Structure 1
Amino acid sequence: MTKQRKENKAVIYWLLTGCLLIFIMVIVGGITRLTHSGLSISNYKLISGTIPPMNEVEWKEAFELYKQYPEYQKLHNHFNLEEFKDIYFWEWIHRVIGRFIGLVFIIPFIYFLIKKRLSKSTINKSLVLLFLGGFQGFLGWYMVKSGLVDEPNVSHFRLAAHLITAFLTFAYTFWVALDLMFPDKKAIDKKFRNFIRIGFAVLILQIIYGAFVAGLDAGWIHNHWPFMNEGKFMHETVYIEHNPIYLNFIEGKSGVQFVHRTLAYVVAIFILAIWYKAKRMTMTSFQTRGVNLLLIMVGVQFLLGVLTLLMAVPVWLGVLHQVGAFILLSAMTFTLHRFSK
């Protein structure tokens, strides 16, 4: 780390703690999705909802409420109380962590304000973070609502919005921490910085399509690589599920999977190009670490994606693939910051 302003240390630790908690939140969220636990709690109580059912009577009441909604009626009507408790746990812990993150951001923020430990710029950035956190919570409930009406499935668009907001909240929190960790300005290559920005945007698009795949359960089809079923690069199901054709690429299982697996090559090529271009420049030690980590992580993430597909998305591997995306985004954020400031 370059020279730090001593008075910023506590603020940096606060922001990095937030990053760690968002990371944990994303892992639990991935488990919640892959175990199909997200619709187990059909009401939202900000305060009292932090306490799970504490006795048999309360558990039966929660189970009876669950029975009123499509997921139980159409998918889980064979569930007993113990099976309900299993899926209830993951959604409950996901919501509790969300509330805890809110407290971890708000309480220290107020303390730092009172103690005048934040610059005007950091205050403004922190307010953006608080808004993103609140918006993320709203999107979570908005997503759950979509699965409580007619069909026991949440909208994959709302799922993607919920997930990508979490990733962007993390990236921005990390960026604000990096601003404080590396306060010194330096000359930059704007052309190269803009190239990394494009790579960042492509990675975000790929993460969105990963959420589409998860939301549509599209990882359980075409479980082959490098080609889809029947040895075809683009299987005909990619473009015949919906009409007009473009809907296949945002709502069709095969179409969405095709885009996600194709974008993986685009992301890998972009990062390889970033690494190659950077190696021809004079870099600082942190810039070197950033581009090297990028190259390593895109290889790891590509491999995880292929294995997840070939093994038809076992929970542990699906979660690991999501963790890989998170770390890859972290490396991209760090690299972009080091070539931007």
Structure 2
Amino acid sequence: MKNNKSVIIWLLSGCVLLFIMVMVGGITRLTNSGLSMTDWHLVTDTFPPLTEDKWVDAFEEYKKFPEYQKINIHNDFTLSDYKFIYFWEWFHRFIGRIIGLVFIIPFVYFLVKKRLDTETIKKCVVLLLMGGFQGFLGWFMVKSGLIDNPDVSHFRLSLHLTFAFITFAYTLWVALDLIYPTKNEVITSLRSIARVALVILLIQIIYGGFVAGLNAGLVHNHWPLMSDSQFIHDSVFIEQSSLLKNFTEGKSGVQFVHRTFAYIVVAMMFLLYFKSRKHSLNTLQQKGIYSLLIIVLIQFALGVFTLLFHVPLWLGLAHQLVAFVLLSAMVFTLHRLSK
């Protein structure tokens, strides 16, 4: 670890920036700011408009697109309102640019200084490609809301969000490989459960994206039932033309899947905990499993309160933040059970 300290700090700094970017992305979504910038330029969008005339030009360009024409034109939407939503989308993209520089410049430096072994170089190239693809997904998502419907595709939003989580998870995994170069004896059964738990957690994150994209958290604000008397609301099966569409495009169906999968995520963490008690684990493995139990219960409670209080901004962000922490704990625990 000592020989790779600077490389580890670099990778963990990338993790922190990815975490910040997802949080700002959450604010951007919850404040309906994502469609405020109607074009994408690598250099000229680096800074917001610097004069009042430039702001007016940007606002006039925004007025040509569906979000203003179909929604905000009826809401006494002013230049001041536009500056607010513009800031969050600009800041989100700005952090993306910073992440690109933070990954590329140190990578070239470490490469020139021969501080990276062949295996780490391969992993870092994958990370750079993932970062570039994530940038493409961001614009691919925004573009879907600039044509006819003044809202981004929930499929594209979920893809953008989930891939950000996956990029973060892989970056953390690469850092952990350097922090803990010595392999443990693998407990195959626990590793298998942890792998399944990670897959289920990622499915839950995907559906979290669906819920955000469809604003599905604003319907059926009851718990544990979806209404005063129904565990599965009637609308879950009749909102769309097919069962698949109900569970991927219907607000009720998507919320039902997300809230039901929450029980499965909690159950998997408890299963991992109870199975682990049959084995002799080292301190880091134990801490990883215990942290999963604590964090998943906090996340479950946050999900319930977010639903009951109709998705206030701070609770929605807290729910997304703890999802990130839960994924971090899951990756750490799986790494310790695998290597």
Q: TM-score, normalised by structure 2?
A: 0.99
Q: Which residue of 11, 27, 31 corresponds with 2:27?
A: 31
User: Residue 328 of structure 2 corresponds to which residue in structure 1?
Assistant: 330
User: Residue 260 of structure 1 corresponds to which residue in structure 2?
Assistant: 258
SS of the equivalent of 1:266 reads helix
User: Residue 146 of structure 2 corresponds to which residue in structure 1?
Assistant: 148
User: Residue 313 of structure 1 corresponds to which residue in structure 2?
Assistant: 311
Residue 231 of structure 1 and its aligned partner are, at CA, apart by 2.1
Aligned letter for 1:144? Answer: V
Aligned letter for 2:321? Answer: V
Q: Which residue of 32, 49, 56 corresponds with 2:52?
A: 56
CA–CA distance in structure 2, aligned partners of residues 279 and 96 of structure 1? 46
Q: Which residue of 109, 113, 123 corresponds with 1:115?
A: 113
User: Residue 236 of structure 1 corresponds to which residue in structure 2?
Assistant: 234
Aligned letter for 1:34? Answer: L
Aligned letter for 1:282? Answer: S
Flag as ranges the 4+ runs of structure 1 deviating above 4 A. Answer: none
User: Residue 191 of structure 1 corresponds to which residue in structure 2?
Assistant: 189
CA–CA distance in structure 1, aligned partners of residues 87 and 272 of structure 2? 42
User: Residue 172 of structure 1 corresponds to which residue in structure 2?
Assistant: 170
- 19-28 vs 190-199, greater mean Cα deviation: 190-199
CA–CA distance in structure 2, aligned partners of residues 145 and 51 of structure 1? 20
Q: Which residue of 279, 284, 297 corresponds with 1:299?
A: 297
User: Residue 180 of structure 2 corresponds to which residue in structure 1?
Assistant: 182
User: Residue 124 of structure 1 corresponds to which residue in structure 2?
Assistant: 122
- 25-34 vs 189-198, greater mean Cα deviation: 189-198
Residue 338 of structure 1 and its aligned partner are, at CA, apart by 0.2
User: Residue 269 of structure 1 corresponds to which residue in structure 2?
Assistant: 267
SS of the equivalent of 2:220 reads coil
Residue 189 of structure 1 and its aligned partner are, at CA, apart by 1.3
Residue 219 of structure 1 and its aligned partner are, at CA, apart by 0.5
* Cα RMSD (Å): 0.6
User: Residue 66 of structure 1 corresponds to which residue in structure 2?
Assistant: 62
User: Residue 290 of structure 1 corresponds to which residue in structure 2?
Assistant: 288
Q: Which residue of 93, 96, 100 corresponds with 2:94?
A: 96
Residue 306 of structure 1 and its aligned partner are, at CA, apart by 0.2
- 73-82 vs 10-19, greater mean Cα deviation: 73-82
Residue 195 of structure 1 and its aligned partner are, at CA, apart by 1.3
User: Residue 203 of structure 1 corresponds to which residue in structure 2?
Assistant: 201
CA–CA distance in structure 2, aligned partners of residues 184 and 245 of structure 1? 48
Structure 2 residue ranges without an equivalent (≥5): none
Answer whether contact 2:184 2:336 (CA < 8 A) is retained.
no
Aligned letter for 2:127? Answer: L
Residue 48 of structure 1 and its aligned partner are, at CA, apart by 1.1
CA–CA distance in structure 2, aligned partners of residues 334 and 143 of structure 1? 30
CA–CA distance in structure 1, aligned partners of residues 94 and 121 of structure 2? 26
Residue 243 of structure 1 and its aligned partner are, at CA, apart by 0.9
User: Residue 79 of structure 1 corresponds to which residue in structure 2?
Assistant: 77
Residue 276 of structure 1 and its aligned partner are, at CA, apart by 1.2
CA–CA distance in structure 2, aligned partners of residues 97 and 246 of structure 1? 36
CA–CA distance in structure 2, aligned partners of residues 287 and 232 of structure 1? 41
CA–CA distance in structure 2, aligned partners of residues 200 and 22 of structure 1? 19
Aligned letter for 2:196? Answer: I
Aligned letter for 1:289? Answer: K
Aligned letter for 1:216? Answer: L
1:132-143 correspondence runs (5 A): 132-143=130-141
Structure 1 residue ranges without an equivalent (≥5): none
SS of the equivalent of 1:293 reads helix
Aligned letter for 1:303? Answer: A
Describe the superposition over 1:12-32 as per-residue Cα deviations: whole angstroms up to 9, x where unpaired. Answer: 000000000000001000000
